[in-house]
Amino acid sequence: GIGTANPQAKLDVVGMVKAQVLQITGADIAEPFNLTDTQAVQPGMLVAIDANNPGHLRMADKAYDRTVAGVISGANGINTAVIMKQEGTLADGSHWVALSGRVYCWADASNGPIEPGDLLTTSDTPGHAMKVTDHIRAQGAIIGKAMTSLKQGQGLVLVLVTLQ
C-alpha cells in the first residue's frame, strides 16, 4: 500500500494519484445500485429510478420513460471500466449500472428497425430499448445512440450511453 499500513487491495493508495496516462480495461463508467425486483434482471437491461424507494432502481417497463437511469453493465462480454461507489451508503448496491460509455443493451425493433446513429429510449418491453420515433416524447428519456443495428425482433445492440 501507498500511504497506508493496511492495504485492502493489490494497489491501495490513500491520497491523490497522478498519472500521465491511465489505461483501464473495460468500456463504461458504472455505479452500483440496488434494484427493487431482481428476478428477471440481466446484463444489458435498461433500468429506471424507483420513485417509491429512494436511491433504488427498477426495470424500465414503459416507452419514453423519463426516469431512465442506465443499462445493467456486463452484457455480451463488455466489462465495466470505471466503478464509482461508496460502501455503506445509498451510493452502493449489487448491480453495476452503466451511466456513460459503450455497453450492449437489450432492444426491441417492433417500433422500427434500429440503425447505427439512432437515438434509443425505453420501450414497453421490460428492460429493452427501442428506436426513438417521437422526438418530443423522447426529451429526457434517451439512453444513448445505437452503434449497431437490429432489423427485427429482440436482441442486443451496442449503445453509446449518453443519458439525455
Domain, as residue range, for 136: 28-162
Who contacts 106 (Cβ-Cβ below 8 Å, separation ≥6)?
A: 42, 44, 45, 46, 75, 127, 128, 129, 154, 155, 156, 157
Question: Which pLDDT value is given to residue 17?
Answer: 82
Report the SS3 class of residue 33: strand
Question: Which pLDDT value is given to residue 37?
Answer: 81
Which amino acid type is present at position 113? Answer: P
Task: Give Cα separations from 61 to 48, 86, 125, 129 (angstroms).
Answer: 9, 28, 6, 10
Question: Which pLDDT value is given to residue 97?
Answer: 95
Task: Give Cα separations from 33 to 41, 46, 103 (angstroms).
Answer: 13, 13, 17
Question: Which pLDDT value is given to residue 65?
Answer: 98
Number of domains the chain contains: 1
Does 9 map to a domain? Answer: no
Question: Which pLDDT value is given to residue 16?
Answer: 84
The partner residues of 144 in beta bridges, in order of sequence, read 120, 161
Does 87 map to a domain? Answer: yes
- Give the C-alpha separation, 118 to 99, whole Å: 18
- CATH number, domain with residue 44: 2.40.300.10
Residue-by-residue pLDDT tens, the chain, 164 positions: 787 788 778 888 888 888 888 777 788 899 999 999 877 899 999 999 999 999 999 999 999 999 999 999 999 999 888 888 777 777 778 899 999 999 999 999 999 999 999 999 999 999 999 999 999 999 999 999 999 999 999 999 999 999 99
Q: What are 132's three cell numbers?
A: 426513438
Does 12 map to a domain? Answer: no
The model's pTM is: 0.87
Does 2 map to a domain? Answer: no
Does 139 map to a domain? Answer: yes
Does 5 map to a domain? Answer: no
Does 128 map to a domain? Answer: yes
Question: Which pLDDT value is given to residue 88?
Answer: 77
Does 20 map to a domain? Answer: no
